[in-house]
Amino acid sequence: MMATLLLAQGTPMLTAGDEWGRSQQGNNNAYCQDNALSWLDWKQAQTPQAQTLLEMVRRLLALRLRLPSLGANRFSHGNHEPAAGIDDIAWFDTDGKPPSPEGGDPESARWRCAVRQRRRARNAPNWPTAPRGEDRPARST
């Protein structure tokens, strides 16, 4: 779950202690709880399991710094070309083809979106991301 959050585009939203596995037991309004549910347990943060998760979070955050496309500094709208002829965002069907006007019912179709961002720094890697919209294994092409 943490890797999904930290490798998604945009700003990751963490609550204090998430990086070491602290839980509010599903309560997203723990701000009004003045008990162990909302308190930080610093002893838990020192456990081997918490330290392992914390190290993974550190590595994922370092990866985010090296891959500018993960920390997009603007929304993609499809009207910007980071490279000639390549939009910053594009939609494709499960066969890798762009949608066509006669493509059928878009509500029932499965689509994939490729988000491409311009590089923020010279020689920085810039990987396109392609969220999956289906529950079966992907085909490599």
User: Domain spans of the chain?
Assistant: 48-141
Q: Three-state DSSP class for 92?
A: strand
- Is residue 118 within 8 Å of 126, Cβ to Cβ? yes
pTM score: 0.58
Q: Three-state DSSP class for 87?
A: coil
Please give the biggest Cα pair distance in the chain.
Answer: 60
Residue type, 136: R
**In angstroms, rounded to a whole number, what is the distance separating the alpha carbons of residues 129 and 8?**
9
Beta strands in 16-106 (DSSP E): 89-93
Q: At residue 103, does pLDDT exceed 90?
A: no
pLDDT (tens digit per residue) in 106-135: 555 666 666 665 544 455 545 455 555 555
Query: What pLDDT, on a 0 to 100 scale, did the predictor assign at position 140?
Result: 46
112: nearest Cα among 127, 91, 128, 137: 91
Query: What pLDDT, on a 0 to 100 scale, did the predictor assign at position 119?
Result: 46
Mean pLDDT, the chain, as a whole number?
75
3 or 141, which is more confident = 3
